[in-house]
Amino acid sequence: MIVKRTVKFNIKKSHTDYKYIKTQLIESKEIYNFANYILRQFYFKNSKNHKYSLNFIEEYPTLKDLFLSYIDKNKQFTTLFYKIICEFAKLKKYSINLKIVQNIVDKLKNDWTSYWKLLKMKISKTYDKQVSIPRYKKKYNLVEYNNQVISKKKLKLGYVGTDKMSMGIKIAKRHKDLGCKCFRIYHKNDKFICELIYEKEVKQVEKNDRVASIDIGLENLFTLAFNYNKKGILIKGNKLKTINQYFNKIKANLQSLLPQKRYGSKRINLLLFKRAEQLRNYIGYYANKLIELLREEKISKLVVGYNKGWKQEINIGKVNNQNFVNIAFRKILDILKYKLEDNGIEYIEQEESYTSKASYLDNDNIPMYKENDDTDYIFSGKRIKRGIYNSKNGKIINADLNGALNILKKAGIKLIEPLEYLRFDNIFTSKLV
């Protein structure tokens, strides 16, 4: 199986090409915003909005004929639209390559396509969040350099960049022979980040009937259950909680020092960057531990419990909200998926509503989540204390293990042998450094 992989590099301000890269990202932003301005005006025109204006045509007399032809077509993304944006880039004498200009317009096209899809979902009431048309970029915009503009000479010397770059971005020796497909540069938390994208062949784990499932949580990061007679495995999430509490406290203090209507600063950006790196390293470390266990057990498939809009809109008290809401559970899933694919283990996401309430030991039916469903489902057992679930006949089971087993059940995974050990074999507790 071929998978796409990325390697990240931070570009320091002292880098030879820093100014050039900064200029490219600013130009990318201006091209994106110009193209988006045209599309927004047509959107306002068709929706009979008072904001509609085509005065910008007069600002570029050399492009007027192209504009008028484009208006007659009454379609968003045509060959003519791409031509107008490329001519605009030439007119402005931008240093950015025209092939990259096309990539920028493609990205804008994806943004508008996503908007129309979400709008349809909103109308059909399958999506409940606010939907808005693509907005303008504020300071910088991502630039993606494909194979056509990557300098082959620089790549041989261990650098990734274009012919216009004086040096390019140095890549580690272990990444030199990966076969770079493209690279992109973007701005995040006051830093320029380069991502090298390459393809890798992964050997699949031999398929068998052994399946595991995971319940992801705050106190217990990963709770692992199996479809055969094996004790559950628990990986504690205490450091994740500590990192989050520290981040929230320092961020709140820094924000209190800022003047009104200002929400960011260099110190806050640095804090955000450090937190993201800490979480990535922490989750990555325990994801690797998890994969070691799966390989030892020769498991070919992992089912991961997931809720749409997951734990981001809950109200479980001030302290718990602070811990839950700021933890990027989607990031945890992405890291897990990335590492499982790297090791040839199949990754499956399973909607996990009611898995923590239903009793696995009593074989409760587990309903599917439906929006605006006010049904008060009754289950055989209940959670009596933190981490303890009591079944109908009084048998005690760990609440997270009960949830993990229900995730297996909800995914339609059958047991290959009866479960005798409904307790934990290993508990990995993260040590605070």
> DSSP letters along 331-396, please?
HHHHHHHHHHHHTT-EEEEEE-TTTTTS-TTTT---PPP-TT-------S-EEEETTEEE-TTS-E
**In this structure, is residue 260 part of a structural domain?**
no
pLDDT band for position 59 (cuts 50, 70, 90)? confident
Total number of residues shown for the chain: 433
Q: Which of 174, 201, 228 is the last residue of a domain?
A: 201
Residues 247/267, Cβ–Cβ less than 8 Å: no
424 pLDDT above the threshold of 60: no
Give the model's pLDDT for residue 122.
Answer: 85
Give the model's pLDDT for residue 310.
Answer: 53
Q: How many CB atoms are closer than 10 A to CB 114?
A: 12
Residues 111/35, Cβ–Cβ less than 8 Å: no
Residues 417/229, Cβ–Cβ less than 8 Å: yes
Sign of CA dihedral 167, 169, 170, 176: negative
Give the model's pLDDT for residue 240.
Answer: 80
Classify residue 62 by its DSSP letter: G
The whole-chain average pLDDT of the chain stands at 84
170 and 217, same domain (yes or no): no
164 and 286, same domain (yes or no): no
The mean per-residue pLDDT over the stretch 218-222 comes to 83
135 and 223, same domain (yes or no): no
196 and 297, same domain (yes or no): no
Q: Which of 153, 180, 201 is the last residue of a domain?
A: 201
> Alpha carbon 45 to chain centroid distance?
34
* Angstrom distance (rounded) from CA 278 to CA 290: 18
The mean per-residue pLDDT over the stretch 218-244 comes to 84
> In this structure, what are the phi and psi dihedrals at residue 148, rounded to the nearest 5 degrees?
-70, -25
Structural domain range at position 406: 211-238+282-428
Classify residue 124 by its DSSP letter: T
137 pLDDT above the threshold of 90: yes
**In this structure, is residue 244 part of a structural domain?**
no
pLDDT band for position 147 (cuts 50, 70, 90)? confident
314 pLDDT above the threshold of 50: no
329 and 186, same domain (yes or no): no
406 pLDDT above the threshold of 60: yes
CATH number at residue 418: 3.30.420.140
Give the model's pLDDT for residue 433.
Answer: 25
pLDDT tens digits for range 68-98? 888 777 677 888 899 999 999 999 999 999 9
Q: Alpha-carbon Rg of the chain, whole angstroms? A: 26
168 and 26, same domain (yes or no): yes
Residue 300 makes CB contacts below 8 A (sequence gap 6+) with 204, 205, 206, 207, 208, 210, 211, 345, 346
Q: Buried b / exposed e across 147-171, counting CB within 10 Å, b at 16+?
A: eebbbeebbeeebbbbeebeebbeb
